[in-house]
Amino acid sequence: MIWDGVSFSPVDILWSFLALCFLVAFCAHKSPHVWMKCGTFRLQVLFQDLIRYGKTKQTIKRDAWMRLFDVPKRWFWHFYATSVGWNGLLLVFYLNFIFQRQSLPSWLTGIVEFFSGVPNTDSQVPQLSTVLVQLLLCLHSLRRLLECLFVSVFSDGVMHVVQYVFGLGYYVILGLTVLCSDREGEGTGTLLSQLEWLHVLGFVLFIGSSLLQHQSMVLLAQLRTGKSGSVETLNHRVPKGGWFELVSCPHYFAELLIYISLSFVFRGLSFTWWLVVLYVLFNQALAAQLCHDLYTSKYESYPRNRRAFIPFLL
């Protein structure tokens, strides 16, 4: 598909579709009066059941049959374990391509050709941007995995099994998207000769965003632990400190910044990755808005100057 001179590959269409879905979901959540006018209460409950998880899911009244599709939210670590394993494997394949000049496995090449719409060529030059994004993506997933296992304190919150399956598939598609973006690269020469200031900028932003997200996760965990580090309660409390003074969900804002940093590592040239950033924007905006609405409705003293997601804007 071509629109205004931009060629849309299958992977571009996929990320555009996902971004549009979450944009529509965000708008639908922000416009509850539309549901009331349509008289579709049951459909609204199903919609809310699919977009909410954890503490925000506890605020909706669901039929018993809906609870049959619940899985523990603490299974979030499965997503990051999958990402570490899968994207680590793709990184090994790409490093073999760089240093051993071994072609990617034929099954992987076929998948990438389908999603990217670009045939594989033996003259393809290894891209510094690709290997850096793969490495940073693995580091991000490893950090989140360790945070889930050793930092976060999960309650008995749940998520829908559809969300669980989507989360598992998400990081698989994400790794393939990196390889699809590799086909957009035009770098030549050795990896070191391809180094540009945008790579450095992206790396610095990645580190800063990761530290912000980690700090936020630690502050959230401290709401349920004592000075000794032992869990004292599983109740939800108003988060304070750090960027929580500006937004209700700085960890979601940091997630967006992390994906923007990876786009910079792609030197801002990957149209496909900007679509991923667009998806993350709408996805995290929806999750943050749900949390923000819960805080403002549950706690009368909740600071009214806090935004939900992006400081001073959203």
List, for residues 215-229, the tens digit of each pLDDT value: 999 999 998 887 777
pLDDT tens-place string over residues 9-34: 899 999 999 999 999 999 988 876 65
| pLDDT, greater one: 228 or 49 | 49
Token duo for residue 20: 């549009």
Q: Find the mean pLDDT for residues 25-44.
A: 71
pLDDT of residue 2: 39
Query: Which residue type does 77 have?
Result: W
pLDDT at 129 over 80: yes
Q: What is the pTM of this model?
A: 0.93
pLDDT tens-place string over residues 236-252: 788 999 999 999 999 99
Among 173, 185, 104, 178, residue whose Cα is nearest residue 134: 178
Q: Find the mean pLDDT for residues 124-151.
A: 93
Q: What residue segments make up the domains of the chain, in order of their start? A: 2-298
Question: What sections of the chain are H helices per DSSP?
Answer: 10-30, 32-38, 41-51, 76-95, 106-116, 128-150, 161-182, 197-222, 250-265, 271-298
Give 133's pLDDT tier (boundaries 50, 70, 90): very high
d(CA 45, CA 42): 5
**b vs e for 83-119, b when ≥16 Cβ sit within 10 Å of the residue's Cβ?**
bbebbbebbebbeebbeeeeebeeebeeebeebbbee
Most confident of the following: 25-29, 94-98, 127-131, 209-213? 209-213
pLDDT at 93 over 90: yes
pLDDT of residue 29: 83
Q: What does pLDDT average to over the chain?
A: 88
Token duo for residue 283: 């996805």
pLDDT of residue 4: 42
pLDDT tens-place string over residues 173-199: 999 999 998 766 666 677 888 889 999
Phi, psi of 226 (to 5 degrees): -90, -175
